[in-house]
Structure 1
Amino acid sequence: MTVTYIGYTLAGLIAAAIIFIGARFILAPRVAAAGYGVQTDLRHSGSGAYLSVKGVRDIASGLFVIILMAAGATQLLGWMILAATVIPVADAAIVLRNDGSKAIAWGVHGLTAGVMLVTSTLLLIP
């Protein structure tokens, strides 16, 4: 098994996971918000809209990964995943700043950032 194959496998798992999470923000926003680590009150005007926006952006992010994988753009895929690592790092900071779950901040968002760093490294190794 080559390093690139492992990188592509991890990238595919990342893409599938973020598409699933995006769909969940659209279809089950309360559940998705709790999984993110911060509770939201959907009775407030606009809350549901913001969660739907997040869902669409997550789905698009997963599709970007799939497109680069299908094109065989290994280096570009690696750089894109490395750049996108800022997303789970920022998510962890947002959860912590808003008195959300520390376990989710570190265990979900922190772990995701770590997996993304490993994945980008495997894809960028010549």
Structure 2
Amino acid sequence: MPVAEVLTALIGVLVVLMGLNGLLRPQAAAGFGIPGTPTEDRTFQAWLAVKAARDIGLGLIILILAAGAAPHLLGWSLLAAAGIPVGDMLIVLRGNGPRVTAFGVHGATAAVMAAISVLLLLG
């Protein structure tokens, strides 16, 4: 399996683990860079469960594609999925969250996903 496909599968596994963390330990996963997040609020915890389910579903889709899709389909799919951390980055910035978190976590994740996508599309 080429390196780009292995890296894509690793991303899928990590996204599933992030989702499981959000379901099992919502306070630890809360906020993802937004200051003043009401981690004890039950309504907010319900929204975290929605995010966790999204993460698990996305991670499984990535893993399925990594297991059987042609590299170009995998590349386009991963590039489309990179829009999610871009959106998360914009949410953190709009919520006056730390720029280090916005760019260093969410932006960096999107950049890595985009770079792997390019490797898959060109390979």
Q: Normalising by structure 1, what TM-score? A: 0.89
2:114 matched residue in structure 1: 117
CA contact (8 A) 2:27 2:40 kept: no
Name the % identity: 43
- Unaligned stretches of 5+ in structure 2? none
CA contact (8 A) 1:6 1:122 kept: no
Select 2:33's aligned residue among 37, 48, 58: 37
RMSD after superposition: 1.5
Code of the residue aligned with 2:34 in structure 1: it is V
- Name the stretch that deviates more: 94-103 or 67-76: 67-76
Q: Distance in 1 between matches of 2:82 and 2:64?
A: 18
Q: SS state of the match for residue 38, structure 2? A: coil
Q: Distance in 1 between matches of 2:98 and 2:26?
A: 17
- Unaligned stretches of 5+ in structure 1? none
Runs of 4+ in structure 1 over 4 Å off: none
Count of paired positions: 122
Deviation per CA, 1:4-51: give whole Å up to 9, x if none.
7121121012111111111111111121124x1124214434211110
The reply to whether residue 89 of structure 1 matches residue 86 of structure 2 is yes
Q: SS state of the match for residue 103, structure 1? A: helix
